[in-house]
Chain A
Amino acid sequence: MKRVNRNYKVRNFHQAKWDEPIIFELSKRGERGVLVPQAEDEIVDLVGDGVSKIPASMVRKEAPKLPEISQPRVLRHYMRLSQMTLGADVNIEIGQGTCTVKYSPKVNEQLARMPEMTELHPLQHESTVQGILEIMYKTDLYMREISGMDRFTFQPSGGSQAIMTMASVVRAYHKANREADKRDEIITTIYSHPSDAAAPALMGYKIIYIHPDKDGYPDFEAFKAAVSEKTAAFIVANPEDTGVYNKRIKEFTDLVHEKGGLCCYDQANANGLLGVTRAKEAGFDMCFFNLHKTFSTPHGCGGPATGAMGVIKELEKFLPAPLIDFDGENYFLNYEIANSPYAVGKVRLFNGVAPVVLKAYAWIMSLGAQGLYEVAKVAVLNNNYLFKKLMAIDCVDAPYTRGKQRVEQVRYTLEKLTKDTGIKTEDIQRRMMDFGMHYWTSHHPYYVPEPATLEPTETPSKEDIDEYIATLEHIFKEAYENPEIIKTAPHNSVCHRVDESGMDDPKQWAITWRSYLKKSTT
C-alpha cells in the first residue's frame, strides 16, 4: 500500500536579495581596481613593449569599454551575486538529473589554486612544465585502467566537445579506409544524451535514433534494422538517462563491428560504473569521461570542464595532437601523429584544462582502486534508496523494468500528479527552489510524461536524501491542497517567475551588454 509520509521536516530557505546592478552599470569613470605597472625598461629592451609587434589591423582603435570599478566593489558585487544563486555548496545536490554533481573536496580546490598551477602558461617551454605534464600523463594511465582504452587525450574542454572528437576520429578512421563517403550515418538512442546526436550532426552525419523496447532497453530489433554498410558509428550512453543499464550492450557493439562501424561510449556519467564495468569489455572502440562530473571537479557550467577522451590502440593515430609522452627522463608533448594525413586537427587551442585534470588526479589518488569501486557502490545504493522511497509515494512512478534496480539515476514520471492536480513537473521544479533544492525534468521532447530526473551520487548522507524526499513530499501534498502556491513559485528566490517569451524572440535576445542597450532602447 502506497502512502504519503506526513512527518517530514522541510528546511526554511531564502535567497539573499540585493537588487544588484550588473557590473557595467556599476562602472564609474576613472575608478580603478588594479593599476597595471608599466613594463620596466630592461624588459622592454629585451622583449619589446609587447604591443608594437601586433599587426596594425588587429590593434583596437580605442580601449575596450570594460567596467571601471574598485577592488572592494568588485568583491562585494560578486559576493552578492553568489548569495543570489542556488549554489552547490549550500544545498543538497540530487536534482541535477543527467549531470552528476558531487562534492569536490576543498583540498583539491586548494591544490588547483596553488601559484604553481595558476601561473602556468600554455606556451611555456616543456622543461618548465614537467609537473603538470607528469600529472596529465599519469591521469591518462589511470583513465586507461578505468576504461580499458589504450590512450587518452585531455584536449576536449567538455563532454560535447569530446563527443565531437569521437565523431572526428570516426570520420578520420573511415577516411583512412576510403569509406568515408559511404558511411554517413550515426546511430544513437533517444535516451542517450542529446549531445550524442547533436555533435556528429554538426559534422554533417545523418543521425538515426533507436527507441526503447517496453522494458526500456534500446530495441535490438530496431537496431538490427538500422545498422548497415552506411553505419559510421554507434554512439550511446549506458546506463541511459532513464538509469536503465543495457545488459545486452555487447550484442549491439558486435553487430556494428560486423558491419564495419565503430562504437563510441558516452561515459560522461560513469558514477555507477567505476571499477564495475569497462568500455573495452563492452566492445567499445572509444569512450570519454567528464572529469568535471564523475571525477569530482565542479560541474561544467559552474567551472571549467574537461572531456577526457580515450581510444583503443588502432585508433591512436587519429587522435588530435599533441599527446603527452614520457621518454624515461622527461615528459614531452608528442606531435608525431599530427604528421599523419588522417589525424584529427586540434579540437582546442591548448592541451586540456590543467586545473581540472589536477583535481581529477588528486581525487583518484586519494581514493585508489578500492575507493573508486566504493564510490560506484555508494552511488548506486543511494540512488536505489531514493528510488524505493519515491516509488512508495502514490503520485510518483518510473517507467520500464518494473521491480528492478537502476544504476545511479532514475527518470521518474509525475503523470499521475499532473492528472490529479494540474501541477506539472516544471511547476515542481520552481517550487523546489523555494527550499534551496535543485530539481531537473528532462531533455525535450519529454518521452517520459511529466518527467523528473534525479541522481544522488555518493555524496549525500541518508539524512540528506531523506530531507530531499521530505521536501518533495511536502510539495506533492501542497499540489493536492494548495496548488496555487506551487503555480506561483518560486517565492523565496531573487527572481520570481521569469518571463521566458523573449527566449523565442530574436528581437529581444541580447547576449552582450551592447546588444542589450541597442535592443532595449529601440
Chain B
Amino acid sequence: MKKLGLIVNPIAGMGGRVGLKGTDYVLEKARALGALPQAPNRTVMTLKELNKIKDQIEIVTCSGDMGENEAKKCGFKTRVVFASPNRDTTKQDTFDAAKKMLEENVELLLFAGGDGTAIDIYNAIGEHLTVVGIPAGVKIHSAVYASSPKKAGELTLLYLQDSVPKIKEVEVMDIDEEAFRRGSVKTRLYGYLKIPYEKRFLQGKKSGSVMSDQASQELIAFDIVDNMKEDIYYIIGPGSTTRPIMKLLDLPYTLLGVDLIHNKKLIKNDLSEKELLEEIGRKSCKMIITPIGGQGYLFGRGNQQISPDVIRKVGKENIIVVATKQKIQSLYGRPFLVDTGDVELDKQLNGYIRVTIGYKEQMMYKIES
C-alpha cells in the first residue's frame, strides 16, 4: 500500500473568475461577487488519473473539502489525519496539514492550490517531501505545479509506479497581491520544493540522455571554483544553481540569501544590502548570479539585496551569470530581464553577457530591461 498525501486548499482560485487577481485577504469579497470553489473539482480531475492503481493507494488527507471529500468521491481508501478547526480554511491549516504529512512520511504529497498554497507547503515541509501541485489558484508562478490537473494525475501515477527516477528542485514564487491589484508585478522567491522530474526528454536516436539539472549545476560549480581568483571577494547570489559552488567549497550557504566569500573562505552568510555595501567597500569584487527559471530575471526578483548600489560597486564586467542549458532553454529565446528599480542602471546592464552553462562552456545571452 502506498501512502499518498493530499491537501486541498478549497478556497484557492476563487478570486480569479471575479477579477480579484488572487484570493489572499479578499475571500469574503470574492464570495460576495459570486465566486465558487475551483480546487475540489480540479482535485477530482487529478485523482481520476490514479484509478488504475486505486487498490494500491491509501490517501492520507484532511477533513472535508481539504481532501477527504474528493478522495472519497473518487472511491479511494481514505484516512483523515488533520481536521481544520475553522469554517473557512486558512494558511495555518495548510501549514499544519503539511506538517502532519511529514510525520506520516507519505511517499508523495499532492496538493491543490495556487502560489500562496505552495509557500505554505514549502514553509511546513521544506525539502523533506516530494510534491506535485494541482494548479487551482489564480496565480501560478511557481514551477511546482503541473500544467493541468490531468497532468498532475499522470505525473503522480508515474511517480507512484516508480517510473520517474529523478527529482528536481523548483522555485516557489509568489507575487505581492496587494501590489498586483495596484497594477505592479513584484515577484518573490520563497524557496525550493522537490518535484518528480518527468522525463520529458526521452532518449532520441542520436543523442545521449539529458544530463540532470544537478549534474549540470555541479559542472558549472567546478568551472567557477577552478577559475576563482585570489584576493577577490565573491558575492554568491541565491538559487539552486549557485548552491553547488558553496557545496563544492564546503562552505555553509543560504539558499535564498546572498553570501560573501574571499579566498574560498566564508566571510558571511545571508547579507543584507547594507551589510554587502559595508563588506565590499572598495575591495575588488565579483558577483555570481543566476536567472530565475522560466522568467529570466537576473536582478530585481529574489535577490533584492543586490541593490543598484551594490551592482554599481561590483561593475557590469564583474557579473558572472550561471545557468544550466535547460534553464536557458526554458526561456525559449526570450532575453534576460533586469528590474533593479533604477532605470539608468537597467539601461547600462542591457546588451550581451556571457553565461556559464557548464565546465568551460558559455553562452552569449541578451539582457533587456
Interface of A toward B, CB cutoff 8 Å = 96-99, 190, 194, 197, 201, 204-212, 214, 219, 221-223, 225-226, 422, 424, 426, 429, 438, 440-447, 449, 500-501, 503-505
Contact = CB atoms under 8 A, between A and B. Distances in A.
B354 A444 contact: no
Interface string B319-363: 000000110010011000000000000000001101001001111
B203 interface: yes
A438 B360 CA distance: 35
A446 B360 CA distance: 21
Q: Which of A96, A197, A222 is the most central at the interface, judged by chain B CB atoms within 10 Å of its CB?
A: A222
Interface of B: 150-151, 163, 165-166, 199-207, 209-210, 212, 325-326, 329, 332-333, 351-352, 354, 357, 360-366
Contact of B361 (A96, A209, A444): A209
A445 B364 contact: no
A219 B366 CA distance: 10
Given A201-B360, A440-B206, 19 more contacts: A97-B206, A98-B206, A206-B360, A208-B362, A208-B363, A209-B363, A210-B364, A212-B333, A222-B352, A222-B366, A225-B351, A226-B354, A426-B202, A429-B204, A443-B204, A445-B325, A445-B329, A449-B332, A500-B209
A99 B206 contact: yes
A425 to B, nearest CB: 9
Nearest to A98: B206
Given A440-B206, A504-B165, A204 B360 contact: yes
Instruction: Please classify the interface of chain A as helix (H, G, I), strand (E, B), loop, or mixed, using the class held by over half of its residues.
Output: loop
Contact of B207 (A194, A211, A214, A222): A194
Contacts of A438: 205
A192 to B, nearest CB: 13
A449 B201 CA distance: 11
A444 B204 contact: yes
Given A424-B200, A449-B332, A500-B202, A444 B207 contact: yes
Nearest to B329: A445
A424 B200 CA distance: 9
Contacts of B357: 209
A194 B166 CA distance: 25
A201 B204 CA distance: 22
A335 B122 CA distance: 68
Contact of A211 (B200, B201, B326, B364): B364
Contacts of A210: 363-364
Contact of A208 (B165, B206, B364, B366): B364
A446 B333 CA distance: 12
A190 B151 CA distance: 30
B332 A443 contact: no
Contacts of A204: 360
Given A225-B351, A503-B203, A503-B209, A207 B163 contact: no
Nearest to A197: B361
A445 B333 CA distance: 13
Contacts of A445: 201, 210, 325-326, 329
A447 B352 contact: no
Contacts of B329: 445-447
A205 B333 contact: no
7 nearest CB pairs, A to B: A225-B352, A222-B364, A209-B363, A445-B329, A206-B360, A426-B202, A444-B210
A450 to B, nearest CB: 10
